[in-house]
A and B are shown apart, each in its own frame.
Chain A
């Protein structure tokens, strides 16, 4: 009896996890997943591996049981990924992971044109045929054919319009972990400047073009890998938009000075975690500037998703950079010193 908890993981990860334990000889496998698409993909895996399949809903999650003498390393013939509501580069990373696993016919459901363009580029780069169908703003992209799956995303575009700095910088850094040549669409000159600084910092080339009043900033070339290693050995927990809770203007000014002074400091924190009113730093122009500089220098910025939602400012921070309590607790645990502001 093997249990796998694949909740919170995007396809194809649940399928890959399950495939691995089948290869190890597991005869009865229980997989917890949180979306319908994952259950459909696991059903296909069960069929291909010659195992029986049952599925029951538990609250918002699904419990899938595969049992029988499984055939190890059965090819995953066809797989569907549901990337609706996910901003690039997530859909293209999901697709790349599936193709690397040897999926012959990959169907990806997405809801925006940038994702379609990125998936098309990915398919073409792997020498596969790509077909796209559209229905009421929903796109079905099928990547099929022989081709050679490459464990890289040669080029992709992300949309960072309508968000304030430092978010475009954070998004670009995140995407560059997986994408070699990245184009970031932004609508503010300051974001262009910050992306140039980021490119410079990472040793990448940078090109800017203006298309319909938007800026397309392309970071290319080899450059240095985006490091996972934190730049500092301490972390900052920001739970207020000002320093101290006294109801006057001083606290807000102190916070602006604090963030600015951090950018000038040699001893940078590894991460900054923003919770409760701390997420409102995203609303202030001066603080945005300092945060962008910190992000460029390698400080990991994490914003509490529930808090952004509570204050009605989720639009300032797209999904890729928002986080939950699990990540925040995990991050705090990495450092011996957590400074609460």
Chain B
């Protein structure tokens, strides 16, 4: 089964900031937070396992430590 990585955010601003640093990489897709994670409407980003290290390193450059969560979804 393919694994999909999803990051959800505490605030919409965090999500937008993350998107901004990762937009050019072509690695992420902007998706609604999957229902399996939360019923609330919100912005999340998803990416493939091979891009995990890069995405997480970029996340550390943002000043939103502890304001987001990484999820692994089985597809």
A residues in contact (CB < 8 Å) with B: 249-250, 253-254, 256-257, 260-261, 285-286, 289
B31 touches A250 (CB 8 A): no
Residue of A249, A261, A289 touching B16 (CB-CB under 8 A)? A249
User: In the complex, what's the smallest C-beta–C-beta distance from B4 to chain A, in angstroms?
Assistant: 12
> 0/1 per residue, B36-75, Cβ < 8 Å to A?
0000000100000000000000000000000000000000
User: What CA separation (Å) do A249 and B20 show in the bound complex?
Assistant: 9
A261 touches B31 (CB 8 A): yes
User: What CA separation (Å) do A249 and B14 show in the bound complex?
Assistant: 12
B30 touches A257 (CB 8 A): yes
User: What CA separation (Å) do A313 and B28 show in the bound complex?
Assistant: 24
User: In the complex, what's the smallest C-beta–C-beta distance from A107 to chain B, in angstroms?
Assistant: 47
Residue of B16, B26, B29 touching A260 (CB-CB under 8 A)? B29
User: In the complex, what's the smallest C-beta–C-beta distance from B14 to chain A, in angstroms?
Assistant: 12
User: In the complex, what's the smallest C-beta–C-beta distance from A198 to chain B, in angstroms?
Assistant: 20
Q: Which residue of B lies closest to A254 (CB)?
A: B43
A260 touches B19 (CB 8 A): no
Can you show 24 pairs from A to B with CB atoms below 8 A apart?
Answer: A249-B16, A249-B19, A249-B20, A250-B12, A250-B16, A253-B16, A253-B19, A253-B30, A253-B43, A254-B43, A256-B29, A256-B30, A257-B30, A257-B43, A260-B29, A260-B31, A260-B32, A261-B31, A261-B32, A285-B26, A286-B28, A286-B29, A286-B30, A289-B29
Asked if B15 lies at the interface with its beta carbon under 8 angstroms from chain A, I say yes
The 8 closest A-B pairs by CB, nearest first: A256-B30, A249-B16, A257-B32, A260-B31, A257-B30, A253-B30, A286-B29, A261-B32
Q: How big is the B interface, by class?
A: 10 to 19
User: In the complex, what's the smallest C-beta–C-beta distance from B60 to chain A, in angstroms?
Assistant: 21
User: In the complex, what's the smallest C-beta–C-beta distance from B20 to chain A, in angstroms?
Assistant: 7
User: What CA separation (Å) do A261 and B32 show in the bound complex?
Assistant: 7
Q: Which residue of B lies closest to A286 (CB)?
A: B29
B residues in contact (CB < 8 Å) with A: 12, 15-16, 19-20, 26, 28-32, 43
Residues of A within 8 A of B26 (CB): 285
Residues of B within 8 A of A254 (CB): 43
User: What CA separation (Å) do A253 and B20 show in the bound complex?
Assistant: 10
Known contacts A250-B12, A285-B26, A257 near B20 by CB under 8 Å:
no
Residues of B within 8 A of A253 (CB): 15-16, 19, 30, 43
User: In the complex, what's the smallest C-beta–C-beta distance from A166 to chain B, in angstroms?
Assistant: 15
User: What CA separation (Å) do A285 and B27 show in the bound complex?
Assistant: 10
Residues of A within 8 A of B20 (CB): 249
User: In the complex, what's the smallest C-beta–C-beta distance from A181 to chain B, in angstroms?
Assistant: 32
Q: Which residue of A lies closest to B30 (CB)?
A: A256
Residues of B within 8 A of A260 (CB): 29-32
User: What CA separation (Å) do A254 and B19 show in the bound complex?
Assistant: 12
Residues of A within 8 A of B12 (CB): 250
Q: Which residue of B lies closest to A260 (CB)?
A: B31
Contacts A249-B20, A260-B29, A260-B30 known; 8 new A-B pairs at CB < 8 A: A250-B12, A253-B16, A253-B43, A254-B43, A257-B30, A260-B32, A286-B29, A289-B29
Q: Which residue of B lies closest to A289 (CB)?
A: B29
Residues of B within 8 A of A285 (CB): 26
User: What CA separation (Å) do A261 and B19 show in the bound complex?
Assistant: 17
Residues of B within 8 A of A286 (CB): 28-30
User: What CA separation (Å) do A191 and B38 show in the bound complex?
Assistant: 33
Q: Which residue of A lies closest to B34 (CB)?
A: A264
User: In the complex, what's the smallest C-beta–C-beta distance from A147 to chain B, in angstroms?
Assistant: 50
Residues of A within 8 A of B43 (CB): 253-254, 257
